[in-house]
Structure 1
Amino acid sequence: MTQSASSEKQAFISQLKNIVGGPQLLTDARSTERYRKGFRSGVGNALAVVFPTRLLQLWQILQACVAADKIVIMQAANTGLTEGSTPSGNDYDRDVVIVSTLRLDHVQVLDNGKQVVGFPGSTLNQLEKLLKPYGREPHSVIGSSCIGASVIGGVCNNSGGSLVKRGPAYTEMALYAQLGADGQLRLVNHLGIRLGDTPEEILTRLEQGDYRPQDVEYGELRASDNEYAERVRDVDADTPSRFNADQRRLYEASGCAGKLAVFAVRLDTFEKETQEQVFYIGTNDTAVLTELRRHMLSQFENLPVAGEYMHRDIFDIAETYGKDTFLMIDKLGTDQMPRFFTLKGRVDATFNKLPLLPHNLTDRLMQGLSHLAPSHLPKRMKAYRERFEHHLLLKMSGTGTEEAYAYLKHYFASADGDFFVCTADEGKKAFLHRFAAAGAAVRYHAVHADKVGGYSGAGHRAAPQRQPMVRNAAAGNRQPTGAQTVLRPFYVSRVPSGLRGEERRRHAPTETADVGNPRSAWRGISGRA
């Protein structure tokens, strides 16, 4: 590095420090590691990690980065659910700046809870608690919400969630920064809230909630995918009901994947489901599940709340390697999980620097301690594990419960398989086991890193209607080696068939993540084509 380049970097760092203050800026590799490394995968170098505490500071940081020709990666909780919130490798052509939005976590309630405005660091867990007194829920209420995933990250990545009626995270109302073809950074206010004209006025008034009810517009722009419930019923369509890069649901912030810096989104909320009932279904014939799916989506008057598939292999892996996660949520509740994952990230970053300690020490310790706890799964679930290779968790609500029970009783009088009506405790634990399964695959890799290859979080979805909803997998062992984990949301399919290479990658499934793919950020907010 030349002396001139070094001086320019120091001047840039000083500029960031002037914007946010010294304590809100990290530059040395040791202190930035946990922000540069993803939970599942993804790691790389970064010139700085900066923590704005005001929306106006975020705008000024972006201005400084664009002027200095830096790559910007927006990061919230860094859950790593789809990667994208950390650098990926060290082959970028310019310096990377990570902007952590965790301290910009405000949520504003509109129309008595029917809509919300979420800031960059707001989380699903936070939103779920905020909406509870209103009897409403956010787009996702299990899974991503437990580990502190961000609201805006879900929108930017078209997060699917697991709820059948709600579709992917989507809005046409957002406040974002965009780099134009002329190289100018502009703030675009499409929130549908009159906040003024200049970036300074818009950001200050929004942050302070300085607007009146009459300043909030209710027009034709959507704050959710309100057509999804109809689309998912079309079981004979030639395209999946949901997949990434779906042109119907790419709109400004929605699906931008890091090409925009999003300051706020306006989203619909949903009435909380009542009188929920979980049915546990087992079969050894994948055609049974395909028939169930097609009939329920096309013929039921009431759509399921959720449907989750698990293969026997992942059932076993989750029982062993997801046990501590299961027990923590079951005993302590979901509120503690974001705090736990944050603490674990800090501890891992510290321990991994010590040469005498093995990597993933916390995972190994927690795995060892989990063996001391007694069996945690309901007896009927374990009995179905012995009888059936394929498992379906079906959740209904309201009058849909009676509709589902009548159909399942009639159907399994002759079909290969069986079902039982879960007690409240069994239903809770069935879905909790399914949630723990996703992290169990990561834990398995962490504990057996010397025996298995790299971890790939590929969320398989069924192809269009002509193919089975689930595929047969190799029979699992109780102690798998090179484990193949098979689980998926059951009532959605995302990846169109016939796609290969880059096209298939563009349509690959996502769950709720943070803001953006680093390579997209490279092409987008960073200012390079």
Structure 2
Amino acid sequence: MLMLRRIHLQPGLMARHVSSKPGKRSFSLRAVCGAGLVGCGAGYLLSRMDGQLRERQLPGAGFRVCCEEMITPKQQALPNELRGIVGKQHVVENVTETGTMVGKGHAMVVVRPGTLQETMKVLEACLNAEVAILPQGAKTGITGGSVPRPCDRPMVVISTQRLQKILPIGDEAKQVLCFAGAGIFSVQETLKPLNRDSHSVLGSIFLNPSVAAGVAFGSGGTQIHKGPAFTNRALYCRVDANGQLKLVNTLGLNAHEDVVAFLVACHQDNAQALSSKDMDAKCTRAASWPKYPQHLTKLDGQVSRYNADLTGEDCNRSEGKVFILATIHDTFPMPQESKMVWVSCKDFATANHIKQKVALASPNCLPKQFEYMGREQFDCVDQGGRGIIKLIEMVGMSNLGTLWNFKLKFESLPLPFVNIIADKLLWYLNSAIPESLPKPLMEQGRKFDHHLIMEMTEFGNGELKQLDERLQRQLALNPGDISCYVCQDAFEKSRVMLFRFAVQPSIQTITVGKGRQGLIIDYAMPKNFDRILEMPKDCDIEMRCLCSHFGCNVFHESLMLSNDVDVKEVKKRIKQVIDEAGGKLPAEHGHGTEYEAPCSTQERWKRIDPTNSMNPGVGHSSSLKGYL
């Protein structure tokens, strides 16, 4: 008998296990690294040998409902109807979906349409059957927003993974049209031969998260001159108050009779680009955050970006309350020259001074990326991240997604310890893998407590020289307090960025390895906030890993906690500290199931999805039909 389980995931808590202390709960972060797939059998044996790790079932919310008692005739007939639309090989029934780091839920059906027309037909069929609809991209989010969750109707996941068309626009490709399932790494690779750079680069780029999800969840990334994922040029579907599907078209294409049919033809004809003639020259809608460099360098009491910002077209930060079909994004010129430096400082004040006097001194001369990493985060990556870095080196960025998807399927199996095998194995193997950075840089990293990763780029106006001169002046003023390592070649640059991208996998590996609780929080502090946020007292934090998209003042806290504390209570106290300091939480990962969206955001979601048909329950909103 098919059953729906209602499970309340506590904010910040990931895969769970029991500590060795009777009566105490211990929760460990979910595995993210696909490297652990190699040798799963060995990891299983190691896990069984570890007396601290004993599998535990998630607590229910007090009731269970049988699908056969609730399902309507239309819902019962829906899977066959969907097969008739997309083909039987693209419809799977009774699926358990596992989130990247949070969530594990049941979907009545997972359907993968292959065209925009099919997608709209699938949406209409789902609305007619009165099921809950969950849009899903690459499922790389870390707050559970794209994982099924219990509600008062069966849930259907509509995956965009077959909608991956990427169409550069015009001969100069200053903009690009992306179907919903296109990955940001794929966009980057498509634009390289055209000497253009993509609109976004995330820490999870090696998992190729989808462009539409970036828009829907307000992802930010490392590129401080580009701003967060944002566009007012989109094609998306919403549901009106009568439960009918409505198509919203703000793409700015020339007046085709049927924009969906036009794009489907581009897809089926294997078009490689759109002509500038296909675009409405009068369209002035923004395809990136307007004047973001000017906004960023105005060091006032406002935050640079956050998930509850209501700016822009309704598709932005909609978190699945509308279904995005396609978006247009600005692209950026590729730099003529690039210089990557790793600057280490004795204190945070020095690091913040460099940010103000070097990185953000002028909106017309920004580094491409400017990242911060604390000492404990440096040690964490070294102690738990060597495996993921080595794996990317071995298989390449483009192949890691396949391993990742297999890992998620493996971890959803109803077997003991599957959710900790990968990280447990990586924990034991980490010391056997060579250090990830050049030896001089590893020594510098261990000598100082605060680190800056800055990529200075040249676009033809002397930007690199200006930035370098500013940096050299600061180095000369503080010769004993600062050390600067210049990457010698492309390989060293790639190692530095992989080290930065391994931040979250590494904390999960260490947390699982040591059998501790874990908590991840992302937040934005005011642009003039010039210190490290002080954590609440008595939280029993055993390791505080802090990194930041420093130019934007967006921080990521990865905390390893004692097994004796209540993680939910710790997160509540940290949120209060952030609010009192003028910060916003979350900053770029979306509310998902981890954060409660503010009233203004929930009211917006009700306006754009008045029947609560799309992604019900996101942001701690109501999961009931019509929000009743």
TM-score (norm 2): 0.73
In the other structure, the counterpart of 1:477 is none
Instruction: Say whether residues 1:214 and 2:277 are aligned partners.
Output: yes
The letter of the residue matching 1:183 is G
SS of the aligned residue for 2:337 comes to coil
- Alpha-carbon deviation of 1:197? 4.3
Pairwise mapping of residues 106-117 of structure 1 onto structure 2 (< 5 A)?
Answer: 106-112=165-171, 113-117=173-177
Instruction: Say whether residues 1:525 and 2:603 are aligned partners.
Output: no
Instruction: Say whether residues 1:130 and 2:190 are aligned partners.
Output: yes
1:182 to 235, 242, 250: 242
- Alpha-carbon deviation of 1:429? 1.9
In the other structure, the counterpart of 2:502 is 436
Instruction: Say whether residues 1:18 and 2:101 are aligned partners.
Output: no
In the other structure, the counterpart of 2:424 is 364
Instruction: Say whether residues 1:257 and 2:319 are aligned partners.
Output: yes
Q: CA RMSD in A?
A: 3.2
| Structure 1 residues 298 and 19: alpha-carbon distance in aligned structure 2, compared to 1, 3 A threshold | closer
- Alpha-carbon deviation of 1:392? 0.8
In the other structure, the counterpart of 2:104 is 43
**Structure 1 residues 283-316: Cα deviation after superposition (integer angstroms, max 9, x where no partner):** 2221112211122255346211111111111111
Pairwise mapping of residues 351-390 of structure 1 onto structure 2 (< 5 A)?
Answer: 352-355=413-416, 358-390=418-450
The letter of the residue matching 1:444 is I
2:587 to 509, 515, 526: 509
In the other structure, the counterpart of 1:291 is 353
In the other structure, the counterpart of 2:376 is 313
Alignment check: 8 A CA contact 2:303 2:524 kept: no
- Cα distance between partner residues in 1 of 2:511 and 2:312: 34
- Cα distance between partner residues in 2 of 1:498 and 1:375: 36
- Alpha-carbon deviation of 1:339? 2.4
SS of the aligned residue for 2:390 comes to helix
SS of the aligned residue for 1:118 comes to strand
Alignment check: 8 A CA contact 1:170 1:224 kept: yes
Pairwise mapping of residues 93-242 of structure 1 onto structure 2 (< 5 A)?
Answer: 93-112=152-171, 113-141=173-201, 143-194=203-254, 196-197=256-257, 201=261, 204-205=264-265, 207-208=267-268, 213-218=276-281, 219-235=283-299, 237-242=300-305
In the other structure, the counterpart of 1:5 is 71
- Alpha-carbon deviation of 1:195? 6.0
How many residues get paired?
A: 505
| Structure 1 residues 139 and 203: alpha-carbon distance in aligned structure 2, compared to 1, 3 A threshold | closer
- Cα distance between partner residues in 1 of 2:225 and 2:411: 38
- Cα distance between partner residues in 2 of 1:504 and 1:292: 22
- Cα distance between partner residues in 1 of 2:71 and 2:498: 52
The letter of the residue matching 1:382 is M
2:483 to 411, 418, 426: 418
Alignment check: 8 A CA contact 1:131 1:137 kept: yes
| Structure 1 residues 511 and 131: alpha-carbon distance in aligned structure 2, compared to 1, 3 A threshold | farther
In the other structure, the counterpart of 1:340 is 403
**Structure 1 residues 409-437: Cα deviation after superposition (integer angstroms, max 9, x where no partner):** 33233433332323224333222211111
- Alpha-carbon deviation of 1:40? 0.8
The letter of the residue matching 1:222 is A
The letter of the residue matching 1:314 is Q
Bigger drift between 201-210 and 256-265 goes to: 201-210
- Cα distance between partner residues in 2 of 1:423 and 1:472: 37
SS of the aligned residue for 1:221 comes to coil
Alignment check: 8 A CA contact 1:463 1:497 kept: no
The letter of the residue matching 1:440 is S
In the other structure, the counterpart of 1:52 is 113
| Structure 1 residues 461 and 6: alpha-carbon distance in aligned structure 2, compared to 1, 3 A threshold | closer
| Structure 1 residues 109 and 401: alpha-carbon distance in aligned structure 2, compared to 1, 3 A threshold | closer
Alignment check: 8 A CA contact 2:410 2:418 kept: no
2:130 to 55, 69, 72: 69
SS of the aligned residue for 1:528 comes to helix
| Structure 1 residues 383 and 494: alpha-carbon distance in aligned structure 2, compared to 1, 3 A threshold | closer
- Alpha-carbon deviation of 1:396? 0.5
| Structure 1 residues 80 and 246: alpha-carbon distance in aligned structure 2, compared to 1, 3 A threshold | closer
- Alpha-carbon deviation of 1:205? 4.1
Identity of matched residues, %: 25
| Structure 1 residues 408 and 266: alpha-carbon distance in aligned structure 2, compared to 1, 3 A threshold | closer
Bigger drift between 438-447 and 300-309 goes to: 438-447
Instruction: Say whether residues 1:492 and 2:555 are aligned partners.
Output: no
Alignment check: 8 A CA contact 1:176 1:187 kept: yes
Pairwise mapping of residues 387-466 of structure 1 onto structure 2 (< 5 A)?
Answer: 387-398=447-458, 399-415=462-478, 416-424=481-489, 425-448=491-514, 451-453=515-517, 455-465=518-528
Gaps of 5+ in 2: 1-65, 556-574, 616-624
In the other structure, the counterpart of 2:41 is none
- Alpha-carbon deviation of 1:364? 2.7
Bigger drift between 9-18 and 132-141 goes to: 9-18
Alignment check: 8 A CA contact 1:81 1:511 kept: yes
Instruction: Say whether residues 1:266 and 2:328 are aligned partners.
Output: yes
Gaps of 5+ in 1: 475-479
| Structure 1 residues 497 and 216: alpha-carbon distance in aligned structure 2, compared to 1, 3 A threshold | farther
**Structure 1 residues 354-393: Cα deviation after superposition (integer angstroms, max 9, x where no partner):** 34x5532233334444432222321222222332111111
- Cα distance between partner residues in 2 of 1:118 and 1:153: 12
TM-score (norm 1): 0.86
Alignment check: 8 A CA contact 1:348 1:362 kept: no
Alignment check: 8 A CA contact 1:56 1:203 kept: no
| Structure 1 residues 358 and 5: alpha-carbon distance in aligned structure 2, compared to 1, 3 A threshold | closer
Alignment check: 8 A CA contact 1:48 1:98 kept: yes
